[in-house]
Every structure is written in C-alpha cells, then in structure tokens.
Amino acid sequence: MTTATVTAPAAGAAVRADRLFLALALGATAILVALVLLDGQLASAALILGGFGLGVAFLKAEFSYTASWRRFLTRGEAGGLIGGLIVIAICALAVVPVAALKQSYGGAIAPLGASLVIGAFVFGIGMQLANGCGSGTLYTVGGGSGRMLIALAFFMAGSVLGSLSLPSFLALGGVDPILASDYLGPWGGLIATLASLALAAALIATIARKRGANFIPSRNYIVGGVAIGLLCIFVFVAGGHPWSVTFGYTVWGAKIASALGFDLSQAAFWQWPGPKHALAESVLSDTSSLTDFGMLFGAMAAAAASKPFARTDWPPLKSLLAAAVGGLLMGWGARLGFGCNIGAFVGGVASGSLHGWVWFAACLPGCLIGIRLRPLFGLSKD
C-alpha cells in the first residue's frame, strides 16, 4: 500500500513530463516551420522537417557512428560500420549525378592537405572521448542526455577556435578537390563511387571475418541506414547541398561569442562569403542550422514519445570532463577537416569526392587514440 502510494504519483509526474517534452518538441518545430514559411522559404521548411525525420531515425535506430567504429577497432565487429556505408550508397545515388548535371546543386568537396588530415585525426580522438560525433551529439542531446549537452557546448567553442585556425592550416597547401564525376562524368562517377563503397565493405567484412567477428548489420542498422540515406537525399534536394551538421555549431558558437563582445567579423574565415552571411543573418537563413534544429526536436519528440525522457543520473565528473574535452577537440577538428562523419565522410564520399575517404582514413587512427584515452576518464574501451 505504501509503495503504491509513493510510486503512483511519481509515475504520473513522469508521464506528464514526457508529454510536456513531446509537446515542446512538436510545438517548437511547428513554430520554426511557420516562421520560415511566413518569409516564403519553402525549402527552409523542408530542411527543418528533414532534420526532424533524421532525429527520429537516428534515435529510434540507435544509429551511432562512434560506437560502431569503436566496436570495429576493438573487437572487429563491422555490422555498424557497414550500416553506415548503406547510408552513403543511397545518398550517392542522387548527389553524384545531380551535382554534376545541375548547376544549382553542389556536392560536399574539399581540398586534400594537412588541414584535412589533422582535423579528421583530432576529430577521431574527440568523438571517442565525447562518446558521440556531430550527429550523435545532436540527437543524444535531443534525446535528453545532459552529458552530451556539455559536449555540444564545448563543440561550439571548439568550432569557433577552429574557424580562427583554418586559414593558417590552409596556407600550408594541398591538392585541389578530386571529384570522380570530373573525370568519369556523372554516371561514371556514380559507378566509381558505388564501387569504392563495395570495395570498402568487402575489405571491412574480410577484417571482421579474420577476427571472428560479425559483419552483418543488425535490422536496426539496415532499416535505419535506409531511412537516413533517403532523408539525406531529401535534405540534399531541399538545400541544394549534402547534409552537414557542424557548420551550424560554428555559427551558433560565433553568434554567442559576438553577443559576449568578441568581434569575429575581421577574422579571415568570417570574411569568406558563406560564413560572413551566416554570421550577419539569422540562424534561420543557415541551412545547416535548420536541419540541426529539426534533428534536435525530432530526437526529443521520439524520445519523449517512446521512453522516459531525461531521467538518468548525471555521470561522474571525469565522464563530464571527457565530454568537454571531446567536444572541444571535435569542434576544432571539424572545422579544420571540413566537417564531421556527416559533412566530411558521408557527404564527401556520397559526392564522389576523394577527400571523404581521406577523412575516414585519418579519423580512424584518431579514434584508436581516443579509445585508449577513455579509461583515464572512467569510460570503457568497448
């Protein structure tokens, strides 16, 4: 009798909290969509809704680049890693030919050089310490993780620092972007991109077999990978560019820094046309921010509708420190490396750009170092 008297009100309060967060997520999304529609921005509304769908898909599928890469490196399990390649293959079906044939569309391309390699390597360290990449940080924050809220805050700070560092690293030189479609045409470029993905999947599966580990993606990763891949195409069609995550963090961090009295407008990065426009205008004019907002609220809605929302204990201080250090490293690395797992790897490879594979190859060793550092912060290597 006593137990029922105590727990029933608590359970009722928990249900009400879940409903409140669900209502907040849906209401905030509706307001954002209404604001951009009032300004006549139909594509912006589509980007918010596309981001919302991505938040739901990532959270429901528990689709984690960070964990799947860690499982591959520590145990040889490759199902999650191959599931990530499914996303890229589906996205490439649209991005490679459309970006090559339509002038109004562009791929995610970047030069090959020290900036790319160093940025990807540092990002790899950070993602394993933070226990989330660019997209992972966002959807777990939306899902109610206080720890990842710390990671996001430091991710933004690191992104601003990275924006100040990038011009100096670009001055070190490099090779101009290499696009498969520039050499093989739109359809030849698509075939080459899909072939590279098949070759990578075969190599990854071979390594997994030699280590006696599984390489078949779980049902969650197959269904989630297909859904995320299709949503990536939706975002590409709406925005004219492959989905990106971390530029939005850079813009948010820069606007906060400006509000605190820091003048970034004279920095070289913030004088480039894209960043200059993003810093001067509303965040609702930045395509990356629109999908980020949508993803945040989509994950919040999915979490509040399906499980207890934000009712886990805060982790130990060392774990929070790892989140902060990891977020800072990811932010800095993402700007130097032209993006994260999404903007650089998924978007780059799906565009037929060689830099996507170079980013992946440089990020994995960084992940290994991050994995070895995890126990220092009380985190498991697995």
pLDDT band at 265 (very low <50, low <70, confident <90, very high): confident
Q: Residue 365 has which token pair?
A: 């060793």
pLDDT of amino acid 160 = 97
- Cα–Cα distances (Å) from 107 to 95, 322, 348, in that order, read 7, 34, 7
**pLDDT per residue as tens digits for the range 34-46:** 999 999 999 999 9
> How far is 190 from 184, CA to CA, in rounded Å?
9
Q: Are strands 112-113 and 174-175 parallel, antiparallel or unpaired?
A: antiparallel
Max CA distance (Å), the chain: 76
Rounded to the nearest integer, the mean pLDDT of the chain is 92
pLDDT value at 381 more than 80: yes
pLDDT band at 145 (very low <50, low <70, confident <90, very high): confident
**pLDDT per residue as tens digits for the range 346-365:** 999 999 999 999 999 999 99
pLDDT of amino acid 166 = 96
pLDDT value at 275 more than 90: yes
pLDDT of amino acid 312 = 66
pLDDT value at 269 more than 50: yes
pLDDT of amino acid 1 = 36
> How far is 268 from 266, CA to CA, in rounded Å?
6
pLDDT of amino acid 15 = 60
Half-sphere exposure of 130 (CA within 13 A, CB side): 38
User: Quick check: pTM over 0.85?
Assistant: yes
> How far is 69 from 123, CA to CA, in rounded Å?
13
**pLDDT per residue as tens digits for the range 181-193:** 999 999 999 999 9
**pLDDT per residue as tens digits for the range 302-356:** 988 876 665 667 788 999 999 999 999 999 999 999 999 999 999 999 999 999 9
Q: Residue 52 has which token pair?
A: 């919302």
pLDDT band at 372 (very low <50, low <70, confident <90, very high): very high
> How far is 149 from 139, CA to CA, in rounded Å?
10
pLDDT of amino acid 100 = 95
Q: Domain limits of the chain?
A: 2-377
pLDDT band at 293 (very low <50, low <70, confident <90, very high): very high
**pLDDT per residue as tens digits for the range 24-83:** 999 999 999 999 999 999 999 999 999 999 999 999 998 999 999 999 999 999 999 999
